[in-house]
Structure 1
Amino acid sequence: MPPVVTVRGGGAGRAVLWAAVGAVVASAAWAAGVFLTGGKDGGADLRGYATPASMCSGADYSSFTGEYPEKDSAPTHTSLKERALEESYCSLGLKKTGSSYADAYLSMQLDLHKSTDPAPEFTATWKNYASSHTGYDTDPVEGVGDEAYLISQDTVTGSSGGSRYATLAVRDGWVTYLMTYSLYLTSYGTDKDPPTLTEVTGWLKTDAKATLKRLRD
């Protein structure tokens, strides 16, 4: 709370009052500027990250290639460069040896939020994901960015069917990164059991760390 200024004079007293009021207003404006822009220099906190022209070649997903060595010949990738947002996205099919069609799917998306701090909405969305989406689990992940959450769902039961899904959502400053894996057992084939959820989440963590390091070097 600003100090109370008592004035008992004429023009000189009023000058003191307006100087005090001006200082309070200036201080409040400066604090608001820091809160809204993330720093007194007025810049977004992008931590040195840059969006690649193609996320399919810019991201690291090498942990998955042991299980899925066949490359997707036609992955989907998009990019966006606007004043408020830069985005790079990739979606590809993961194939086991000899597979003609995708056995699982992987997507990666990097966003550079250049106008607004994504932290409040990021936390609200991912920390509470399990509360608003039935059947999913949410776990905080340490050691990746400023905050990260692992969202997962596993309905695979034996060889009868089901699906396996996991997303690692990371925020580092004003930069967000999502990496998502999914498979449906009915299209996986019966020659080999799919990787466990523990294996998949380990790969996501390893490759997300490697990708974020690569994109800010």
Structure 2
Amino acid sequence: MQDRPEDVPAQPQAQTSPQPGSTTQPTPVPAPQPQVQAQPLPQPRPEPAPGPNQGATPTVTYGAPPAYPPAQQYAYGQPPGFPPPPGGKGTAGRAVLWAAVGAVAASVLWAGGVLVLGPLGDNADLAGYRAKANLCSAVDYTALRTEYAEEDNVPTHSALKHKAIDQSYCSISLKTSSSSSYADAYLSVEMDLHKTTDPAPEFTAVWSEYAQRYEDYEVEEVSGFGDEAYLVTEDTTSGSGTSGSRAVTLAVRDGWMTYQMSWSTYSSSYETTTPPEIGEVSRWVKTDTRSTLENLRSD
């Protein structure tokens, strides 16, 4: 038997089973530890596969499958029937959609306005008349001054200008002389330029049937003034002419222009004389209307 060299380790002795009745426990031999291998990281989910006619279906590797298929992109947000995705993108998409719809609607309304409203103003037949800011400057009442010699130096006037209508109004106090304490009669003139609606039907209805309002009025259609004209008169004075009132109105329509010149007085306004007769005042009003209309057309 050869001696073991000193630098060679001794071989482990085999473990023997304890003898029956022995109390000595065997020394356990530690089991070899398994090697831990690194697991590969999950790969990102692949992009959606192309359509059936655009190539082969790619192989899905790691990663959980998507809960829903990717939504198709629409120019104005989600298609009808689909809830908007989280993050507020659906709200922005709807805003773009409504903005586009609003632009289209505005274009349609604008086009409708041009087609509907434009021709109305273009077709207005104003017969050459012009609106006046101060209608009194154009009113000629020379014929009436045969009776009312005193001129009113402070007549009142008003005007309204709108895309649908222009209105001018003038009110003049009439005095027979400078000695009159108050006005003996009153003269009012109004001109309306209707720029979007033809006033003919309503003008005819109002003035041709003016007598329906009051029993004391009389209506006469007269010629020589525009397209149609009506002379409306009232006389409620007694035989002596010391009570009651008298009034004369000439209403004229020329195209889409309407005009009224009205004279009125009370018998009690005259201090020393009686008011002029209706027939005489009617002639004055006709003469002054003709010259006033000429002024309104030429200015």
Asked if 1 retains the 8 angstrom alpha-carbon contact of 2:242 and 2:274, the reply is no
2:245 pairs with 1:148:
no
2:268 is aligned with what amino acid?
Answer: T
Alignment of 1:84-163 (within 5 A): 84-97=164-177, 98-157=179-238, 158-163=240-245
- How far 1:64 moved relative to its partner? 0.9
Counterpart check, 1:175 vs 2:239: no
**How many equivalent residue pairs?**
179
Q: Distance in 1 between matches of 2:226 and 2:265?
A: 27
Higher RCO (C-alpha under 8 Å, 6+ residues apart) = 1
Shift of 1:133: 2.3
Residues 241, 275 of structure 2: 8 Å contact kept: no
- Kindly provide the amino acid, as one letter, of the partner of residue 96 in structure 1: T
* Runs of 4+ residues over 3 Å off in structure 1: none
For residues 1-217 of structure 1, the aligned pairs below 5 Å read 37=120, 42-97=122-177, 98-157=179-238, 158-190=240-272, 192-217=273-298
Tell me, in whole angstroms, the C-alpha distance in 2 between the residues paired with 1:212 and 1:159: 32
The one-letter code sitting in structure 2 at the alignment partner of 1:57 is S
- State which structure, 1 or 2, has the greater radius of gyration over its C-alpha atoms: 2
| Greater fraction of residues in helix | 1
Deviation of 1:65 after TM superposition, in Å, equals 1.0
* Structure 1 position 77, deviation (Å): 0.4
Tell me, in whole angstroms, the C-alpha distance in 1 between the residues paired with 2:268 and 2:140: 28
Aligned equivalents of 2:156, 2:295: Cα separation in 1? 21
- SS of aligned partner of 2:122: coil
Identity of aligned residues (%): 52
How far apart are the structure 2 equivalents of 1:181 and 1:64?
Answer: 9
In structure 1, the partner of 2:18 is none
Unaligned runs of 5+ in 2: 1-115
In 2, distance between residues paired with 1:159 and 1:146? 36
- Which structure shows the bigger proportion of residues in strand conformation? 1
- Aligned residue for 1:65, secondary structure, equals helix
TM-score in terms of structure 1 length? 0.78
Partners of 2:133 and 2:202 in 1: CA distance: 26
| Contact kept in structure 1, 2:237 and 2:246, CA below 8 Å | yes
Cα deviation, residue 42, structure 1: 3.4
Q: Which sits farther off after the overlay, 153-162 or 104-113?
A: 153-162
Task: Check the 8 A contact 2:267/2:274 in 1, yes or no.
Answer: no
